[in-house]
Structure 1
Amino acid sequence: MIRFFLKTMVTAVAVLIASYVLDGVSVDSTLTAILVAIVLGLLNSFIKPILIILTIPITIVTLGLFLLVINVLIVKWASEIVPNFTVNGWWSALLFSIIVSVVTSIIDGLTKSQYE
């Protein structure tokens, strides 16, 4: 339970950083960022694996680049679900997903030994 909480907080910080860096992404408050982190976690846990399995042929043909499209879809769905979180356009969603992934990886790497 503590690990889930910490992972959610790390993702929320990454969401705030990405919204600060990108013009096309808007997060109104810290609570909204936490909700975005929870929704992204749920979508990535339950919906993304199904989409990956269903799109295996396209993913193979595009040498894995179609996974970026799936990431964009997940971010856009999260923006539809969470109020006060907006993502304008596909490029903003793509850059948002990349920034959140990179920032989350960096923070996880820096704090990994502390919460394991």
Structure 2
Amino acid sequence: MVRFILQAVVTALGLWLAANLVPGVAFLSTGSLVAAAVLLGLVNAFVRPVLVFITFPLTVITLGLFLLVVNAATIGIVARLLGGFVVDGLWAGIGAAIVTGLCSWVAGGLIPDRRIQREG
């Protein structure tokens, strides 16, 4: 549970950065930012694996670049479900996916994974 909360905080930070850096991505309030982060975590846990499976041939053909479109689609799904979160088009979604992914990647390098430490 702590890991999910930490991941939601990192996702919220990534979405906040995306809203400040990517034109077409915006939040109406801090509450909608937090809700978007939590909802994105749930969509990534349940919907994204299905999308990745369905689009696997395109992902192979594009050498993995189509995963950016899948990530943009998950962000777009969250924007559709949440009234206070706006993503204006595919390119804004791809930009948000890149910024959020980079933020998660950096945080993943800084935050140790206790599951790995217990096994070793």
* TM-score, with length taken from structure 2: 0.85
Matches within 5 A, 1:74-85: 74-85=74-85
Q: CA deviation at 1:106?
A: 1.9
Q: CA deviation at 1:40?
A: 0.9
Contact 1:16 1:30 in 2 (8 A): no
Q: 1:25 matched to which residue of 2?
A: 25
Aligned amino acid, residue 77 of structure 2: W
Measured in 1, the distance between the counterparts of 2:70 and 2:40 equals 12
Q: 2:15 matched to which residue of 1?
A: 15
Q: CA deviation at 1:76?
A: 0.9
Matches within 5 A, 1:33-112: 33-110=33-110, 112=111
Which blocks of at least 5 consecutive residues in structure 1 are unaligned?
Answer: none
Measured in 2, the distance between the counterparts of 1:107 and 1:94 equals 20
* TM-score, with length taken from structure 1: 0.88
Aligned-residue CA RMSD (Å): 1.6
Q: CA deviation at 1:19?
A: 0.4
Measured in 2, the distance between the counterparts of 1:2 and 1:56 equals 31
Q: CA deviation at 1:60?
A: 1.7
Give identity over the alignment, percent: 34
1:46-95 alpha-carbon deviations (Å, 9 max, x no partner): 11111111122222222222212211111111100111100111111101
Q: How many pairs does the alignment contain? A: 114
1:6-40 alpha-carbon deviations (Å, 9 max, x no partner): 11111111111110112210112221111111111
Q: CA deviation at 1:108?
A: 3.5
Aligned to 2:86, the other structure's residue is in SS state strand
Measured in 2, the distance between the counterparts of 1:14 and 1:63 equals 25
Q: 2:118 matched to which residue of 1?
A: none
Measured in 1, the distance between the counterparts of 2:64 and 2:107 equals 26
